[in-house]
Amino acid sequence: MGDTIDNSGSGQDAGAADDPNSAFGFNGTWQEFAPIAFTNLLLTIVTLGIYRFWATARERRYLWSRSRFVDERLEWAGTGLELFVGFLIVLVLFGLPYFIVSFGAQALIARGYEMLGLALLAGSVLAIFYLAGVARFRALRYRLSRTRWRGIRGGSDDNGFLFGLSYMWKNAVGWVPAGLLIPWSMTSLWNERWNQMSFGPHRFEARAESNAVFVRFLLFYLAPIVLVVGGGILAAMGMLAGRGIGGEDGMIVGGVIGAIGFVLIIYLGLGLIAVAFYAAFYREVVGKTRWHDLDFSFDARTKDWIKLLVGDVVLVVITLGIGLIFLTYRHWKFFMTHLEARGEILLDDLTQSTTATARHGEGLLDAFDIGAI
């Protein structure tokens, strides 16, 4: 038995209801999510933050249960206890040694052993950099292993330790030539991580290319020069206009207004260009990721990302920060409603994954506060 998926022209809008013609869908509502979010917030406050692991599991159970792939909903099988235990393991195995090394390095420097102390500090920084890469790999492995579709899960037999090394040297290579190889490091790391993952009996294949997003990155790379020059001209014009209207006092006022305009141009301009680059990057990497006979795509354009981010800011500001609890819902809905797939699924060929099941949660990822949903 097989299902054929062809949604190349569906173009589902992020705010639309679940489209049955789309491979992916989401039919949750913020009204349903609100009781979960507010309860999680209160319990996290009362427990001094400990409940946040169970809060994360509750949110994911809801979001996964309202998400559809083809004709079946997803299911989140992870628990808050797994996340909590994973965090404790990281705290004991990595957190305590890091603090001991840091204090030891400071003590050595204070006693006059500067070189040895600085070497220990440099080593601890490199260790954190390495573990950040391992964290990204193992978090994706864990999330796939706890995601169920038709009773089938994903995962990986790779432990992520070699990926941590790749994460270090590829990021270093990306930054060394004045940051010009950052698109290569980003796409290469995406490919390496996803090529080690599988779902059911089939592995993912990722073949993203950096040259597809390099032009957008180059625009972001050169933008500071253009924006600084343009902002400087704006500030100077403000000062001259103010002087022509109100003399010396007017020049000061004009200079202040020009300086404010200069700062806004820099931050807003760089922000918009960065969003444009990330939108192109995500379309490239998702569009070059394949699972067996399925090709994925992500149709969110720059304007869609801007709407999402501006909406996040407005929501947080007008609610005096309380709206932060709804960002997970907003981002997951955005992801699911812009994700598409095309190809054929042979349901009779799908068997359970034979990869090792991750026993603990995203302790490393949680410790470094990085990652995605």
pLDDT at 307: 95
Query: Does the pLDDT at position 340 exceed 90?
Result: yes
The answer to the question of residue 312 being in a domain is: no
Mean pLDDT of the chain: 83
Determine, yes or no, domain membership for 30. Answer: no
Q: pLDDT value at position 237?
A: 62
> How many residues are listed for the chain in this entry?
373
User: Across residues 38-64, what is the average pLDDT?
Assistant: 95
Task: Please tell me whether the overall predicted TM-score, pTM, comes out greater than 0.95 for this model.
Answer: no
Flag whether 329 is in a domain: no
The rounded percent of the chain whose pLDDT value lies above 70 is 79
Range of the domain at 271: 214-287
Task: Quote the pLDDT of residue 32.
Answer: 96
- Do the Cβ atoms of 126 and 168 come closer than 8 Å? yes
Does the pLDDT of residue 46 top 90, yes or no?
Answer: yes
Question: What type of residue is 129?
Answer: F
pLDDT digits (tens, 9 = 90+) for 281-299: 999 999 999 998 899 999 9
Tell me whether residue 206 is in a domain: no
206 pLDDT above the threshold of 90 = yes
Residue 241, domain member (yes or no): yes
| pLDDT value at residue 247 | 54
Structural domain total, the chain? 1
Residue 169 lies in a domain: no
pLDDT digits (tens, 9 = 90+) for 317-338: 999 999 999 999 999 999 999 9
Enumerate residues 6+ apart whose C-beta is below 8 A from 68: 18, 24, 25, 26, 27, 74
Interatomic CA distance for residues 143 and 341, integer angstroms: 20
Residue 271 is assigned to a structural domain of this protein: yes
- Residue 58, in any domain of the structure: no
pLDDT of residue 233: 65
Q: Could you give the CA distance from residue 279 to residue 191 in angstroms, rounded to a whole number?
A: 17
